[in-house]
Chain A
Amino acid sequence: MSHVMKSAMVCRGSARTAIARRALRFRSRTAGFVAVAAMAMATVGLARPASAQIGEMFGGRATVLTNATVMTPDGPIENANVVIRRGAIASITTDEPQVRGRTQVVDASGLVITPGLIDVHGTLGLTGNGGGGPRNRASDAFDRYDTDAIERAWRGGVTMVYIPARGGSISGTGAVMKLGSSVQEVDAGNALCIDLDSGASSLARLGRVQSIRQQFKQAIEYRESREIYADEQLPEYEKKLAEQVEARKKKEAEEGADGEKKDSAALVAGDEDLQPTPRRRRGGRPGAPPAAGRGGGGGGGGEAEEARKPREPRANRAADVLLRAIDREIPVRIVAHRSADILNAIALGEEFGLRVVIEGGHEAGLVADALAAADVSVVMGPAPTASPYGGPRFLRFDPHAPAALAAAGVDTVIGSGVGGATPYLLMNAQLVASHAPSVNPLNAVTVDAARFLGLPDHGAIRRGGAADLVLWSGDPHDPGSSVVAVMIDGRTVFGTLPE
């Protein structure tokens, strides 16, 4: 080896060592960083939505929005400061905010801050209607890459949308989606969706109601069959089996070492450790096809007959969904406009004990008392006078309907309805309010909407609530005001915060 090459090798060697040493230092530092990050993720991961986790990891400092008009359910607070920490609202104060070193301070003077608006009845981002059936999920049909539609929603101040399932008569489960920079499912099974409206002829509508009733009845039968299996058939079989085991044991004891019989029953019978244990765990969830076998078990034979294991009713996920509605875990949103369909929906609810919500309800004003008596809520889409057919020529659309519902004490919530009108959510609520003065349009699409969807941490600017906020250039009720910025879980997803 030449002298040059040798020294080169030595150089390389020492260089390699130096590099190796540096690498080791880097690796250990990185490892430390990764370890800390992992721990942070672990602690943060406990109860936080994903975007808040990310917000904390890479932007974990607090943000203070100063000197703005903050809209609360009780009215505006002038010259207020909102402190946001870890994706949630830490405080609202009119005092001087405490600003620590890395806090981001935003001069929001002249701006109005509202909670992110919530659309309880939108079709944003929905593509097609997926064929229907109780297992259909609206969240699967949501196009989270429809960035145009999402941006338009932000321009209207909307941060959360409930989207319905559509298709067939029992259409599936609707979902609540949060419009962060990556859209999240807040609740994929928020409500069961039923459609009584589509279908032109009265006969078709009649058939539809019957089909829906049938499906609910079958779901109940399915649960009953699973209960019978678990509570009667299985214990009976086990009892019988135990008796047979006893009988065989006695017989064997009498016959001595005769037992070469290897049939499975004998094997099972002969080993005490293999006593059949109650299979309650497998049968835990209700769900099986309606005609589930009342098989096996106690088929009237004599003691000499072998116990036959009853067939467990198969799981039926569709019926599971219907049973959640029957157990009042989720509401049932029924699309119904004609007064006759609304009355059918009420009857359906009473027959099966459902929490019924009427979706649409153009003629709800005509049956307001029935709705109030049955404690049925109404989700309104476009105001009657905003509908494309809202003119005086079309008698079904009564501008006085919202007032009639309010007067009868029917719980009414306002969404944007079909047709991509989510950006006009607040304007629609204002239009309803012009005919029903008891409606507060901003509350209708914030705190009332959140309560209706079962989202206690959203819909109002209060301590501990999610930092879903919209900064407006002026009073959001004025059409000349525009959205300056939208924050979701404390992160700006649209627009820019002023310096």
Chain B
Amino acid sequence: MSDCMMHNRTFRRTLHRTTARSIAAAGLTVAVGLMPAIASASVSSASAISASAIRDGHDHVILAPHVLMPDGSLADDMAVHVVDGAIKQIGSMKDFADHPNATRLPDGAVLSPGLIDLAASVGVRGANSSTTEVLDPNPSVVEAFDPHAPGVRAALEAGITAVMIIPGPNGLVDGATATVRTAPEDDGSADVLNAEGAMMFSMGSAALATANGPTSRAGAMQLLRSTMRNMDKNDGSRMSRVMGGDMPAVLVADAPEDVSAMLRLMDRQGVVPTIYAPNAAVEVAAEVAEYEGAAIVGPLGFRSGDRLLMGADALDAAGVPIAFAGGLPNNSPDQLRMTAAIAVRAGVDPDAARRGLTSTAARIAGVEDTIGSIAVGHAADFTIFSGDPLRMDSRVLEVHVRGHRVHAASH
């Protein structure tokens, strides 16, 4: 019991540990600052952009004027050494300037981990969860993902190198999320980073409206409670792994009461779900913080109402780690960064927002050891922006996956 509680409550502690590790490896003090100086003038010329073509391969070094660090800050004049598709070393630019295969990015450019879009259904053909089974933990949405579907390539070109696909929300429990890269494997198959990310729970109106299951919140809570009570915690099933703390949970809900009820219920099992409740966030932010949960925010657009904006601000102000959903494929891939930018406009701390596009998103998707951070040992999945990715006039210059350049901007 105690170790599963520890597992779930060390969310933020693990994040900090990873950061500390990478900083120690880099052997330098990271300057935690805000935006870089206004320096995008030189980047808008075409010649500067084409000069950024990195000689990728087995062993190369990227010299970056700015790097987006795991803590969300932008560090200046860094070098990242990539070997066989993974990050081998991180250091300062001057230490690596003489490397035979080193390329310097243009002035003002930011080397970022490839962005991660949560709660997407891009590339998934057809319905991806059951509409008849209300408590269906077993489906794997990854089996419905097609890496060649329209929109997946557009996401890649917008700098999104991985998406977390969510099933449902059609029932109380809809199955597991899956995290996939937007670039296919060499053989054309889907590059699945995590086939079983988190278990999806839903207390939305869709879940309570099925003809086969509970039609009230009380009924839903009772169903879940009895399922958990009667479950054999060690039978290896998904539900038991969730309740045992080995598999994270994501809760989609609309009303604050639903969020509160689920947080209380799951806390008895030592489970802290990630909350995806845009409309309820402003009211439950403090409670989510108490339980040390994380939250998914978005999609946000120019027409988003105050409630959604205040929700994002309230979560961040309460200290809840947040990550962003861009709403692919119904929304354009730009909507992910727009969500982050609009959240910052609404009051979210810029460093927290940059984490929300990268390291926190990876954590929620269950792939934090592989992608989402520029840290030793992580995959070399990068997006090179012409400036701070929170600025909407920053453009994608290049996208790298597993150390190989998969996209370069044409203009």
Q: Does B303 contact A (CB under 8 A)?
A: yes
Q: Is the CB of B334 within 8 A of A419?
A: no
Given contacts A388-B331, A416-B302, A437-B46, list 13 more A-B pairs with CB under 8 A: A385-B334, A390-B334, A391-B151, A391-B335, A403-B411, A427-B341, A430-B392, A431-B338, A434-B392, A434-B395, A437-B44, A437-B395, A479-B391
Residues of chain B with a CB closer than 8 A to A427's CB? 302, 338, 341-342, 345, 392
Q: Does A397 contact B (CB under 8 A)?
A: yes
Q: Does A101 contact B (CB under 8 A)?
A: no
Residues of chain A with a CB closer than 8 A to B196's CB? none
> Taking the nearest CB of chain B, how far is it from the CB of A82, in angstroms?
19
Q: Is the CB of A392 within 8 A of B329?
A: yes
Q: Which 9 pairs across A and B sit closest by C-beta, in order of nearness?
A: A392-B151, A430-B393, A421-B302, A390-B332, A385-B334, A430-B392, A385-B332, A479-B344, A433-B393
In angstroms, Cα B15 to Cα A276, docked, is 96
In angstroms, Cα B390 to Cα A75, docked, is 22
Q: Is the CB of A428 within 8 A of B302?
A: yes
Q: Of residues A388, A429, A480, which shows the largest number of chain B Cβ atoms within 10 Å of its Cβ? A: A480
Q: Does A386 contact B (CB under 8 A)?
A: yes
Q: Is the CB of B335 within 8 A of A479?
A: no
In angstroms, Cα B39 to Cα A76, docked, is 12
Q: Is the CB of B334 within 8 A of A478?
A: no
Residues of chain B with a CB closer than 8 A to A393's CB? 150-151, 329-330
Instruction: Please judge, given known A-B contacts A399-B332, A478-B390, whether A382 and B344 are in contact too, CB under 8 Å.
Output: no
Within 8 A of B (CB), among A378-400: 382-393, 397, 399
Q: List 11 A-B contacts (CB under 8 A).
A: A392-B122, A392-B150, A399-B334, A420-B302, A421-B303, A431-B392, A437-B411, A441-B393, A477-B393, A478-B350, A480-B35
Q: Does B301 contact A (CB under 8 A)?
A: yes
In angstroms, Cα B335 to Cα A69, docked, is 31
Q: Is the CB of B338 within 8 A of A386?
A: yes
Q: Is the CB of A475 within 8 A of B302?
A: no
Residues of chain A with a CB closer than 8 A to B388's CB? 478
Residues of chain A with a CB closer than 8 A to B338's CB? 386, 427, 431
Residues of chain B with a CB closer than 8 A to A419's CB? 302-303
Residues of chain B with a CB closer than 8 A to A60's CB? none
Q: How large is the interface on A (under 10, 10 to 19, 20 to 34, 35 or more residues)?
A: 35 or more
Interface of A is mostly: loop
Point out residues on B near A: beta carbons under 8 Å. 34-35, 38, 41, 44, 46, 122, 150-151, 154-155, 301-303, 327-335, 338, 341-342, 344-345, 350, 388, 390-395, 411
Nearest B residue to A431, CB-CB: B392
Interface of B is mostly: loop
Residues of chain B with a CB closer than 8 A to A384's CB? 332
Q: Is the CB of A388 within 8 A of B303?
A: yes
Nearest B residue to A438, CB-CB: B44
Q: Does A474 contact B (CB under 8 A)?
A: yes
Q: Is the CB of B394 within 8 A of A434?
A: yes
Q: Of residues B301, B327, B330, B332, which shows the largest number of chain A Cβ atoms within 10 Å of its Cβ? A: B332
> Taking the nearest CB of chain A, how far is it from the CB of B411, in angstroms?
6
Residues of chain A with a CB closer than 8 A to B330's CB? 389, 391, 393
In angstroms, Cα B154 to Cα A392, docked, is 7
> Taking the nearest CB of chain A, how far is it from the CB of B332, in angstroms?
4
Residue interface mask A359-395, B partner, CB < 8 A = 1:
0000000000000000000000011111111111100
In angstroms, Cα B300 to Cα A388, docked, is 10
> Taking the nearest CB of chain A, how far is it from the CB of B45, in angstroms?
8
Instruction: Please judge, given known A-B contacts A386-B302, A393-B330, whether A478 and B391 are in contact too, CB under 8 Å.
Output: yes
Q: Of residues A386, A389, A419, A438, which shows the largest number of chain B Cβ atoms within 10 Å of its Cβ? A: A386
In angstroms, Cα B298 to Cα A232, docked, is 70
Q: Does A494 contact B (CB under 8 A)?
A: no
Nearest B residue to A403, CB-CB: B411
Q: Is the CB of A391 within 8 A of B329?
A: yes
Within 8 A of B (CB), among A397-440: 397, 399, 403, 416, 419-421, 424, 427-431, 433-435, 437-438
Q: Is the CB of B332 within 8 A of A386?
A: yes
Nearest A residue to B330, CB-CB: A391
Nearest A residue to B44, CB-CB: A437
Nearest B residue to A418, CB-CB: B303
In angstroms, Cα B331 to Cα A421, docked, is 17
Q: Is the CB of A388 within 8 A of B391?
A: no
Residues of chain B with a CB closer than 8 A to A437's CB? 44, 46, 395, 411
Q: Of residues B328, B331, B342, B390, which shows the largest number of chain A Cβ atoms within 10 Å of its Cβ? A: B331
In angstroms, Cα B302 to Cα A416, docked, is 9
Q: Is the CB of B328 within 8 A of A391?
A: yes
Residues of chain B with a CB closer than 8 A to A435's CB? 395
> Taking the nearest CB of chain B, how far is it from the CB of A138, in angstroms?
21
Residues of chain B with a CB closer than 8 A to A403's CB? 411
Residues of chain B with a CB closer than 8 A to A382's CB? 302
In angstroms, Cα B155 to Cα A390, docked, is 12
Within 8 A of B (CB), among A464-493: 474-475, 477-480
Q: Is the CB of B341 within 8 A of A479?
A: yes
Q: Of residues A75, A433, A477, which shows the largest number of chain B Cβ atoms within 10 Å of its Cβ? A: A477
> Taking the nearest CB of chain A, how far is it from the CB of B290, in angstroms?
27
Residues of chain A with a CB closer than 8 A to B328's CB? 391-392
Q: Is the CB of B391 within 8 A of A390?
A: no
Q: Is the CB of A480 within 8 A of B350?
A: yes
In angstroms, Cα B302 to Cα A428, docked, is 9
Residues of chain B with a CB closer than 8 A to A434's CB? 334, 392-395
Nearest A residue to B38, CB-CB: A475
Residues of chain A with a CB closer than 8 A to B392's CB? 427, 430-431, 434, 479
> Taking the nearest CB of chain A, how far is it from the CB of B53, in angstroms?
17
> Taking the nearest CB of chain A, how far is it from the CB of B402, in angstroms?
24
In angstroms, Cα B329 to Cα A390, docked, is 9
In angstroms, Cα B395 to Cα A475, docked, is 18
Q: Is the CB of B335 within 8 A of A385?
A: yes
Nearest A residue to B43, CB-CB: A437
Residue interface mask A300-341, B partner, CB < 8 A = 1:
000000000000000000000000000000000000000000
Instruction: Please judge, given known A-B contacts A390-B331, A390-B332, A399-B334, whether A480 and B344 are in contact too, CB under 8 Å.
Output: yes
In angstroms, Cα B344 to Cα A221, docked, is 57
Residue interface mask A120-143, B partner, CB < 8 A = 1:
000000000000000000000000
Instruction: Please judge, given known A-B contacts A419-B303, A479-B342, whether A474 and B35 are in contact too, CB under 8 Å.
Output: yes
Q: Of residues B122, B327, B329, B393, which shows the largest number of chain A Cβ atoms within 10 Å of its Cβ? A: B393
Residues of chain A with a CB closer than 8 A to B334's CB? 383, 385-386, 390, 399, 431, 434
Residues of chain B with a CB closer than 8 A to A75's CB? 41
> Taking the nearest CB of chain A, how far is it from the CB of B151, in angstroms?
4
Residues of chain B with a CB closer than 8 A to A429's CB? 393
In angstroms, Cα B301 to Cα A387, docked, is 9
In angstroms, Cα B154 to Cα A192, docked, is 38
Nearest B residue to A428, CB-CB: B302
Residues of chain B with a CB closer than 8 A to A438's CB? 44
Residues of chain A with a CB closer than 8 A to B34's CB? 480
> Taking the nearest CB of chain B, how far is it from the CB of A62, in angstroms?
30
Q: Of residues A382, A386, A391, which shows the largest number of chain B Cβ atoms within 10 Å of its Cβ? A: A391
Within 8 A of B (CB), among A158-181: none
